[in-house]
């Protein structure tokens, strides 16, 4: 599943690309803010990651575009509007195309100026396992599409990218140029734990920044730490800490920046839910130096199937909420069980989650293989084996687990990991037993 965080990020990036011809060359600023406030842009990006409440740790695992399937649908298009003082004006829209496996193959972004005009085109290529291996970004320039960016992914056996190469091309250029190269590491539960990013500088790769991710006992992300390279050492830059009211239910996140020799508050988000299938309000705060100041809020309401319906961004102007921007989503309903296509990639999930007293674990395999399906506790102890060395043909399968151990006794409430082994491939997911 791909979080809608990316839609908001893509929106800002697209708007930036839209104004590139009118601005100075960012590369020539030598990473200063003379023509582009880098820190403000990064902060704005952070502010609009409004869907972290669904499961922040999932966002860190879904660093690629496997599909835009969400619950009972795939997104057809997505409209962004801005408030003109009395009503909503169209601003941007995004249209999606998919292959037969519901993986997005193309996203067309258009901006509105009396009519819809081409802006950006993103295309995505997959291998035989339907793992993303390359994406392209093109900009509409002089009535044709011009390459500006491409990203190439090297994945591990379960599709997590372990190396990512980013290249750029000038609008009028003919050659690709290295930009960034990142290496990613994952923990025992296949969660992203570390990313190191290098920049191409004077014909060699040099360290640029790195991220560390830590998780709490429930498997939810607890802290994100960003460090930058000062030429000799890694130096703290910023960090974000998450607070939860229950497993997977984030209620607050606080971002801090490193100043001098200590962490200083920078930004806060709090989450107010109004029904699991209804929606959420996210309040955003800036640190004034001695207290938090409420600056923005984003209200997202879901449709009858639990998919995002409408998101409205408002700004706080002297105690009055003023409309700023609105996102509207259109979905096509899907029913995976009706899909007779032979699967081309592995998948592993369970429902309900959390569960009591039992849950259904579903797995999809694309080739005939010997399968093992096991359950472990947080300490890595084997709790139960649902499938042992059985041969399966390609297809979708399920097994029930009723919360019992190998000896048939009931296990305690808590977080458990279920592991699918297909040949020499391993896939891991998390589930929560509540009593």
pTM score, whole prediction? 0.69
* Domains observed in the chain: 5-333 (2.40.128.720), 342-433 (2.60.40.1930)
Would you state the pLDDT for residue 331? 79
Structure tokens at 289: 């130096």
**Taken in order 341, 76, 56, 240, is the CA torsion positive or negative?**
positive
Mean pLDDT for all residues in the chain = 78
pLDDT class for 24, splitting at 50, 70, 90?
very low
In a 13 Å sphere around the CA of 286, the CA atoms on its Cβ side amount to 9
What does the alpha-carbon distance between residue 300 and residue 276 come to, in Å, rounded to a whole number? 12
pLDDT in tens, 231-249: 999 999 999 999 988 767 7
H/E element, 58: helix 56-61
What does the alpha-carbon distance between residue 282 and residue 310 come to, in Å, rounded to a whole number? 14
pLDDT class for 305, splitting at 50, 70, 90?
low
Helices (H), 313-362: none
pLDDT in tens, 386-417: 999 999 888 888 899 999 999 889 999 888 98
Asked whether residue 81 carries a pLDDT value surpassing 60, the answer given is yes
Residues shown for the chain: 435
Q: If you average pLDDT over each of 7-11, 31-35, 163-167, which comes out highest?
A: 163-167
Among 4, 381, 1, 414, CA closest to 219: 414
C-beta of residue 367 within 8 angstroms of C-beta of residue 411: no
pLDDT class for 7, splitting at 50, 70, 90?
very low
- Residue for token digits 């921007």? 325
At 432, is the secondary structure helix, strand, or coil? strand
Q: Which residues contact 194 (CB under 8 A, 6 or more apart)?
A: 184, 185, 210, 211, 212, 213
Higher pLDDT, 95 or 26: 95
Mean pLDDT of the 146-159 span:
89
- Residue for token digits 């959390």? 354
Q: Which residues contact 413 (CB under 8 A, 6 or more apart)?
A: 433, 434, 435
H/E element, 11: helix 5-18
pLDDT in tens, 245-278: 876 778 899 999 999 899 999 999 998 887 655 7
Q: If you average pLDDT over each of 137-141, 169-173, 379-383, which comes out highest?
A: 137-141
């Amino acid at each position: 599943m791909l979080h809608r965080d990316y839609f908001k990020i893509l929106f800002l990036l697209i708007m930036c690309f839209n104004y590139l011809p009118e601005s100075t060359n960012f590369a020539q600023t030598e990473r200063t803010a003379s023509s582009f406030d880098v820190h403000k842009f990064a902060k704005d990006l952070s502010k609009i990651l409004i869907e972290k409440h669904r499961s922040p740790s999932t966002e860190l695992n879904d660093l690629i575009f496997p599909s835009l399937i969400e619950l009972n649908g795939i997104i057809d298009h997505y409209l962004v509007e801005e408030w003109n003082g009395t009503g909503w004006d169209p601003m941007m829209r995004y249209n999606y195309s998919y292959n037969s496996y519901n993986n997005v193959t193309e996203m067309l972004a258009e901006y509105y100026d009396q009519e819809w005009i081409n802006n950006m085109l993103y295309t995505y290529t997959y291998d035989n396992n339907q793992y993303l291996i390359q994406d392209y970004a093109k900009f509409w320039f002089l009535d044709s599409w011009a390459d500006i960016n491409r990203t190439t992914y090297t994945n591990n056996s379960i599709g997590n990218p372990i190396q990512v190469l980013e290249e750029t091309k000038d609008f009028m250029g003919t050659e690709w140029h290295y930009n960034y190269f990142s290496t990613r590491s994952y923990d025992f539960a296949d969660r992203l734990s570390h990313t190191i990013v290098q920049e191409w500088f004077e014909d060699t790769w040099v360290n640029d920044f790195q991220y560390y991710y830590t998780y709490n006992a429930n498997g939810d992300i607890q802290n994100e730490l960003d460090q930058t390279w000062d030429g000799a050492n890694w130096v703290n830059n910023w960090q974000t800490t998450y607070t939860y009211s229950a497993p997977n239910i984030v209620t607050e996140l606080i971002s801090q920046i490193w100043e001098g020799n200590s962490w200083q508050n920078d930004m806060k988000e709090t989450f107010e839910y109004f029904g699991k299938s209804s929606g959420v309000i996210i309040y955003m705060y800036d640190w004034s130096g001695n207290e938090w100041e409420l600056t923005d809020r984003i209200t997202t309401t879901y449709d009858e199937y639990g998919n995002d319906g409408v998101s409205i961004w408002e700004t706080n102007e002297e105690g009055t909420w003023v409309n700023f921007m609105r996102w509207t989503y259109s979905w096509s309903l899907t029913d995976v069980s009706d899909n007779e296509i032979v699967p081309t990639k592995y998948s592993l999930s369970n429902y309900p989650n959390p569960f009591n007293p039992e849950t259904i674990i579903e797995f999809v395999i694309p080739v005939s293989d010997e399968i093992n399906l096991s359950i472990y506790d947080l300490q890595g102890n084997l709790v139960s084996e649902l499938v042992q060395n059985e041969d399966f043909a390609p297809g979708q399968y399920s097994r029930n687990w009723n919360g019992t151990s190998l000896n048939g006794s009931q296990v305690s409430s808590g977080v458990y990991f279920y592991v699918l082994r297909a040949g020499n491939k391993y896939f891991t997911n998390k589930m929560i037993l509540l009593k």
